[in-house]
Structure 1
Amino acid sequence: MKTFLRKLLFAAASCLLASTACPTQLPWENGKLKVSDNGRYLMHENGTPFFWLGDTGWLMPERLNRDEVSFYLERCRQAGYNVVQVQTVNGVPATNAYGQASMPDGFDFSRIDREGTYGYWDHMDYIVRAAESKGIYIGMVCIWGGLVRSGFMNEEEAKQYGTFLANRYKDCPNIVWIIGGDTRGDVKTEVWEALATSIRAIDKNHLMTFHPFGRTMSATWFNDAPWLDFNMFQSGHRRYGQRKGDGDNLADSNVAEDNWRYVEASLACRPLKPVLDAEPSYEDIPHGLHDPAQPRWTANDVRRYAYWSVFAGSCGHTYGHNSIMQFYRPGYAPAYGADKTWMEALDAPGFNQMKYLKELMLRFPYFERVPDQSVIAGTNGERYDRLIATRGDDYLLVYNYSARPMQIDLTRIKGNKKKAWWFRPTDGTTEYIGEFENRVTDFQYDAPYMQGADRVLIVTDAEAEYMK
């Protein structure tokens, strides 16, 4: 019955999705995901780069029905996302849109598939297969960290749960395992180790990472762990100088928005592992997270977090929206002051602008790219005036959030002559600037200071053809 039901669900998903466009090539046709040879990025087995562009669809398993799952994932695909991070369970047990519980027998999963019942895990199977049809990976946060901190899963139960999850999803091509979930790695460490190692003992084909608490990074606790393939950090939701709100209260609030610092700190660890910001400030969420009276983060802010992190050396980025992450709609109590439905939020500018970053990074030779602040000549700015530079052998990119004038050392890349363009993160368009001598050169674009008119300066060897 279990096999028949899964086949039936897959057929239903295929029919439901038939009316929407699907990728001509699915990512895993290039082979499974792995860490690049230089330890900085993710790639497929055949050498194809994988730039992680994630959305936080945390409560999708609990709040969306099948039609809504399909609709949401299709919008993610259209917006360029190739990963959706989900809370597999947000309660012990969790209950989904069909009224089915995740753990009717506790951590005994021997009778989890019941004849004639479309259960919690059947619905999770549907989500995984629907994402697969769209070319999207499911970043499966196995259990939210607060539940473990509160004692809802112990070490032995973690082994049972990890064994169940690994056996159920080890053959799905689009899984990334995420241990933790908004939690510190030095709290209930033995539980997280038991969960990770029990999954890894069965499933050696999928990447695994750890999602940490606000303003912390997984490298602090698990960089040496053999099960951790790449690092995550959560830069959190505070603004500069804000001492209350999400995050580690011991961290310096004066650098609260500098998510590039976590990238640099993670990449300084050995062994070198890829890293990304798995939870920056969300679009339309209050500064500091908990007080709805606070100002809200905008599309301008979420772009800044994305470009700062990636240009500092991240292997990708995860976006979030207040309404989407909780799939808010009338009938649910809004968290964090959410006042738009999740369907309305799919039209938010930030949600639809992230794809331009992915397209930009994949335009150039991928694995040779390194962060390089020596590209910035003279004194760099602080806070919003901070310029972040990355380069390959014959190209460089500089992100400018505030529209401040800047001096750029064009000698840092190959070529006797250089060509330059402005790139707009808001719409992905480019504007040719001209050809330049190979020296330190002044650049400034015509835009008001600090009004969300961010740009990327693109410079290449004049003989390169990346911009054609």
Structure 2
Amino acid sequence: MKKFLILLLIIYSVFTFSQNKKQEMPWSNGALQVSSNNKYLQHKNGKPFFWLGETGWLLPERTDRDEVDFYLSQCAKNGFNVVQVQTINAVPAFNKYGQPSMTDGFDFSNINQKGVYGYWDHMDYIVKTAEKNGIYIGMVCIWGGLVKAGKMDVDQAKKYGQFLAERYKDSPNIIWFIGGDMRGDIKTEVWQALANSIKSVDKNHLMTYHPFGATSSADWFNSAGWLDFNMFQSGHRRYGQRKGDGEAKKIADTEEDNWRYAEKALSMKPLKPIIDGEPSYEDIPQGLHDASEPRWKDHDVRRYAYWSVFAGSFGHTYGHNSIMQFYRPGLSPAYGAQRAWFDCLNDAGFTQMQYLKNLMLKFPYFERIPDQSIIKGEVGERYERLIATRGEDYLLVYNYTGRNMQIDLSKISGKKKKCWWYNPRTGGYKYIGESDGNKILQITPEKENGEAKDFVFVAVDASKNYL
């Protein structure tokens, strides 16, 4: 019996080792870098990287080790490969273990105390646990409101940047975020000092700037040498909630049109990749501050994701009201959060974002461009807007309202085109049939449960086998 149990243990160990060996970590393909066409991200070996981000702002402050393990495992299970966190949200910030992020201003010389599981020990644990799960940490160095309030000046930014870079320069899974919900023309000298201080030490990791709602980093830093890719925050306001001071204020009732930011950034020089780093969160009140307002739902967060990516973004970041602040009963909720964060990890938006990543990686990646000329007739405004993207031999059109549309199949190669409906709620394909390659196809998404839902129309050169 004993020999039998030992044999079982050996078999289990070999099986476990084999399974772990098969799990490829992203950085095994080399460090992240900007693609040669300056539109996307890739690994050093040329493998494409589709950024699927999750917003975990208060992860360092409000979770213990067990919760970090659980949260990051659920992120990995649902296809997320980046988690965006606030490294510090106060000066000093305190974590769940009661430890401060700094004890004497921005002097970090004695931050590691023997026998104490300190603030930065816990941050190290988050980074290492994310690494084990194949996840990058988008590290927002300091929240912007603190800088605006004078909590960090230029000299302190230089010290802090050097500390962060020295501590994490050898971690394979770091992406630096300068800013933090802040316009780039506020305390610009501090942001520049922080960015350049990090880059002087760490030349291995990419860097961006997280801006204020309805603004883009391209508005201020597109030509900055330290900025590897642009980020915009399309924000949380619905059409007509005209309280922002960014791009949406310039064109009436465009608050939800996040595709506009991608279009604008991709027309600028120098050309840099662009992503929506903070769209409307699932289960957060529209406009943020009035809990009696309607809440953004899963279909809303899907729309933001597909609109942005099909307009040219290299990926997308999702967020959930309860998860981003790690709310639980007993804490004071922000933005009307009502449900514990761990109960929201099965919400529809959280589980469905992976289907966007899966779809985009099915096709030749770097040749993809946004192309609204695919759509004949009315492109549509607001929710009626159709968004189209294509490669040489495939095209995709996102239809949010389920309305009739006309598609020019001649925009891609092939005498014949095979066509599918892709369901962004399930990740499933439904084959429609084969069509003449030069045809203007008139088609309407099917109804689901008697109500029109969002779908992606897919057409592929019939000689290709991507699906």
**Band of TM-score, shorter chain:** over 0.9
Instruction: State the distance in 2 between where 1:310 and 1:259 align.
Output: 10
Gaps of 5+ in 1: 1-17
SS at match of 2:180: strand
Instruction: State the distance in 1 between where 2:135 and 2:20 align.
Output: 13
Aligned counterpart, 2:318 = 319
Instruction: State the distance in 1 between where 2:234 and 2:252 align.
Output: 12
Contact in 2 for aligned 1:279/1:320 (Cα 8 Å): yes
Contact in 1 for aligned 2:283/2:297 (Cα 8 Å): yes
1:383 and 2:375 correspond: no
Aligned counterpart, 1:417 = 416
Root mean square deviation of aligned Cα:
1.8
Q: CA deviation at 1:449?
A: 11
Q: How does 1:22-421 map to 2 (within 5 A)?
A: 24-244=23-243, 250-421=249-420
Query: How big is each residue's C-alpha offset from its partner over 1:65-91, in whole Å with a ceiling of 9 and x where there is no partner?
Result: 000000000000000000000000000
Instruction: State the distance in 2 between where 1:217 and 1:47 align.
Output: 27
The amino acid of 1:165's aligned partner reads: L
Instruction: State the distance in 1 between where 2:452 and 2:68 align.
Output: 33
Q: CA deviation at 1:249?
A: 7.9
The amino acid of 2:83's aligned partner reads: V
The amino acid of 2:140's aligned partner reads: V
Question: Kindly, what percent of the aligned residue pairs are identical?
Answer: 65
| TM-score of the aligned structures, taking structure 1 as reference length | 0.94
Aligned counterpart, 1:441 = 441
Q: CA deviation at 1:396?
A: 0.2
User: How many residues are matched?
Assistant: 450
Query: How big is each residue's C-alpha offset from its partner over 1:38-82, in whole Å with a ceiling of 9 and x where there is no partner?
Result: 000000000100000000000000000000000000000000000
1:459 and 2:442 correspond: no
Instruction: State the distance in 1 between where 2:275 and 2:251 align.
Output: 21
Contact in 2 for aligned 1:56/1:85 (Cα 8 Å): yes
Instruction: State the distance in 1 between where 2:248 and 2:149 align.
Output: 20
The amino acid of 2:262's aligned partner reads: V
Query: How big is each residue's C-alpha offset from its partner over 1:372-391, in whole Å with a ceiling of 9 and x where there is no partner?
Result: 00100122111111000000
Contact in 1 for aligned 2:213/2:244 (Cα 8 Å): no
Contact in 2 for aligned 1:403/1:449 (Cα 8 Å): no
Aligned counterpart, 2:10 = none
SS at match of 1:103: coil
Contact in 2 for aligned 1:407/1:441 (Cα 8 Å): yes
Aligned counterpart, 1:5 = none
Contact in 2 for aligned 1:246/1:288 (Cα 8 Å): no
Cα pair distance change 1:133/1:432, threshold 3 Å: same
Instruction: State the distance in 1 between where 2:153 and 2:420 align.
Output: 55
SS at match of 2:253: helix
Cα pair distance change 1:22/1:108, threshold 3 Å: farther
Instruction: State the distance in 1 between where 2:263 and 2:247 align.
Output: 18
SS at match of 2:94: coil
The amino acid of 1:459's aligned partner reads: A
Q: CA deviation at 1:246?
A: 9.1
Aligned counterpart, 2:428 = 429
Q: CA deviation at 1:252?
A: 3.6
Instruction: State the distance in 2 between where 1:398 and 1:22 align.
Output: 38
The amino acid of 1:239's aligned partner reads: R
Cα pair distance change 1:245/1:227, threshold 3 Å: closer
Cα pair distance change 1:453/1:77, threshold 3 Å: same
Q: CA deviation at 1:443?
A: 1.1
Query: How big is each residue's C-alpha offset from its partner over 1:78-121, in whole Å with a ceiling of 9 and x where there is no partner?
Result: 00000000000000000000000001111000111011111000
Contact in 1 for aligned 2:100/2:119 (Cα 8 Å): yes
Contact in 2 for aligned 1:283/1:350 (Cα 8 Å): yes
Q: CA deviation at 1:345?
A: 0.8
Instruction: State the distance in 1 between where 2:33 and 2:353 align.
Output: 23
Instruction: State the distance in 1 between where 2:178 and 2:298 align.
Output: 29
Q: Which runs of 4+ in 1 moved over 3 A?
A: 20-23, 244-253, 448-452
Q: CA deviation at 1:22?
A: 9.4
Cα pair distance change 1:169/1:139, threshold 3 Å: same
Instruction: State the distance in 2 between where 1:394 and 1:247 align.
Output: 37
| TM-score of the aligned structures, taking structure 2 as reference length | 0.94
Cα pair distance change 1:245/1:275, threshold 3 Å: closer
Instruction: State the distance in 2 between where 1:445 and 1:297 align.
Output: 23
Cα pair distance change 1:176/1:395, threshold 3 Å: same
Cα pair distance change 1:167/1:262, threshold 3 Å: same
Structure 1 window deviating more from structure 2 (153-162 vs 378-387): it is: 378-387
Query: How big is each residue's C-alpha offset from its partner over 1:383-414, in whole Å with a ceiling of 9 and x where there is no partner?
Result: 11100000000000000000000000000000
Q: CA deviation at 1:331?
A: 1.6
Contact in 2 for aligned 1:401/1:450 (Cα 8 Å): no
SS at match of 1:183: coil
Contact in 2 for aligned 1:22/1:134 (Cα 8 Å): no
Instruction: State the distance in 2 between where 1:79 and 1:236 align.
Output: 23
Gaps of 5+ in 2: 1-16
SS at match of 1:255: coil
Instruction: State the distance in 2 between where 1:42 and 1:95 align.
Output: 34
